[in-house]
Structures are given as structure tokens and as C-alpha cells.
Amino acid sequence: MAKHKHVNQEAKEEQSQDPEEVIEVSAEVIETPAEDEVEALKEEVVQAKAKADEYLDGWQRALADFSNYRKRIERDQAQLHANTVGNIARRYLDVLDDLERALKNRPQNSEGASWANGIELIYRKLFSALEAEGISRMNVEGQFDPNLHEAISQEDSPDHESGEIIEVLSPGYTIKDRIIRPARVRVAR
């Protein structure tokens, strides 16, 4: 109660004074924080900003790591798919070669010709199915390259230079620029 009386007494004194003096007195009554408190608050803001930057940096790193992980998984899955398709296709490439050899020696009479047409249809379907999986036949003309070709034999040939391919015995195949079977060739000495 004494405190309340004291406040009322100050209010009465302010009413009796000049209004400009009242403003000055009121400004003196408002407490300003001590410089130590301001510095402490500034330090807290700096620490909070540093912690926020640290969290942001950690979040950005985690996001980048996750993005890299996702890309690596997608790349690994694509590679696994290509390997699987390549392994399965390798089994059918020999069948494709056999069909191709059978078509080179196709019978010419009417009964054998219809049979050969059926074999050719099977050959084209198998070849189309392999192409649909991204498998393509390699172009093997020119010089022997051990990265692309498998030399079955080396022979003397007056028509060919040394290291030149004489004949392709079975074509090579790739899947997305990866060799799944090298071409089997005869090479000139």
C-alpha cells in the first residue's frame, strides 16, 4: 500500500510540473539495460546464428549424401539389369548364330523353302527381342582389336595385310557400349 501511495504522489508532482520536464523525468525513469546485458544478448544471438548455420550445413550435407546415394543405387540397378540381360542374352546368341548358319544353307526346293522361311521368321523374332533389350551387333570390319575380337586363327593371306580381319566366324554383341561377346574372327599374319 505504501508503494501505491508513492506512485500517486509522483503522479501529482508530475502534474504540477511543466510538460517538457515531465517527459525528461519519464525518460529517466525508464530503465535501459546494462551494457553487460546487451553484450550478453548479442553473444547469445551470435551463438544461435552459429548453431543455426551448423544445422543448415549438416542438413545440406545430409541432403547431398542422400542424393548421391540415390544416384549410386539407380546406377547400380541399371548396371545389374544390363549384367542380367547380358548373361541371359549370351545364352541365346549361340542359338542366333546357329539359325544364321542354317539360313546360309537354306534349301531351294519348294518344300524346304517354306521350312527355311519359318526358320528365318524365328531368327528375326529372336534378333528383334535382343535388340529391344539394348543388344546390338558390333561392326567388326578392319583391323584386329583384342578388346573387341577373339582371334580363332591366324593365317597367311596375300589379299590382306597383317593384323587385318579375314573372316568373321561369329559376330560380336554389345549392350550399352559394353561387350557381352567379342567377335570371333580369322586374322591375317
> What digits encode the pLDDT tens for the residues 129-188?
999 988 999 888 778 888 889 888 888 888 888 888 888 888 899 987 888 899 999 998
Full-model pTM = 0.59
| CATH number for the domain running over 135-189 | 2.30.22.10
Q: Which three cell numbers stand for residue 136?
A: 546390338
Ordered strands of the 165-170 beta sheet: 149-155, 183-188, 165-170
Q: How far apart are the first and last CA of the chain?
A: 121
What are the pLDDT digits (tens) for 104-127?
888 777 777 888 888 899 999 999
